[in-house]
Amino acid sequence: MDQDRWARTRELFDQARSRKPDERREFLKSACGEDADLRREVESLLALGEAVEKLKKIRPRAAEVVKCRYFDGLTADQTAAALEISFGAVESDWRFARAWLHRELGEGGTTDTGTDAGVRTDGPGAMGENPGTLR
C-alpha cells in the first residue's frame, strides 16, 4: 500500500472509530463510495483495533508495540526508544502479538460493521516500508 493510500485509510479509520459502532457501516458506505478495497482496508483496521484492545488486557506492552509498529510505522529500534524498552523486548512482544493476532483475527473474524475482517497479517515489506501489514 502506498503512503497516500495508507494516509487515506488511516484518516477514514480514525473517523470511523470516533463514531458509535452502529453508525460505522453507514459512514463507511458514504465515505468509501464505490471503492470496495478502501472500505475493506478500513474495516480491517477497525478489526485490528478491536483485537489490539483485547490484547491490551492480557499483554499491555505487546499491544503498545503493535500500535507503534503497525499504526505508527515505527521500526523495532524506534519502537524500543519510544517505549523505553530493549530491542529484544520489542522483538519478543512483536512475535507474540503477531501470533496472537493471527489467531484472534483468523477465519470468521468480523468487524463491528458486520463484515469479514480480512486483516492483512503478512506482506512483502517490513513495517517501515509497507504500512498496513503485520510482518
Residue linked to cell 522483538 = 91
Range of the domain at 51: 3-104
127 within domain boundaries:
no
Q: What is the mean pLDDT of residues 37-65?
A: 95
22 within domain boundaries:
yes
96 within domain boundaries:
yes
Domain count along the chain: 1
Are 17 and 27 in contact by the 8 Å Cβ rule? The answer is no
Euclidean distance between CA atoms 65 and 59, whole angstroms: 10
pLDDT given for residue 5 in this prediction: 92
The residues near 5 (Cβ < 8 Å, ≥ 6 apart) are 38, 41
Query: What is the residue-averaged pLDDT of the chain?
Result: 83
The residues near 42 (Cβ < 8 Å, ≥ 6 apart) are 9, 12, 13, 16, 28, 32
25 within domain boundaries:
yes
Q: What is the mean pLDDT of residues 114-118?
A: 45
The answer to which of 9-23, 55-69, 75-89, 98-112 has the lowest mean pLDDT is 98-112
Q: What three-state secondary structure class fits 105?
A: coil
The answer to which of 56-60, 86-90, 94-98, 111-115 has the lowest mean pLDDT is 111-115
Which has the higher per-residue pLDDT, 88 or 125? 88
φ, ψ at 38 (rounded to 5°): -60, -45
Whether this prediction's pTM lies above 0.85 is answered by no
114 within domain boundaries:
no
Residue 65's DSSP bridge partners are none
93 within domain boundaries:
yes
pLDDT digits 0-9 by tens, 33-45: 999 999 999 999 9
113 within domain boundaries:
no
8 within domain boundaries:
yes
Residue linked to cell 523495532 = 76
Q: What three-state secondary structure class fits 114?
A: coil
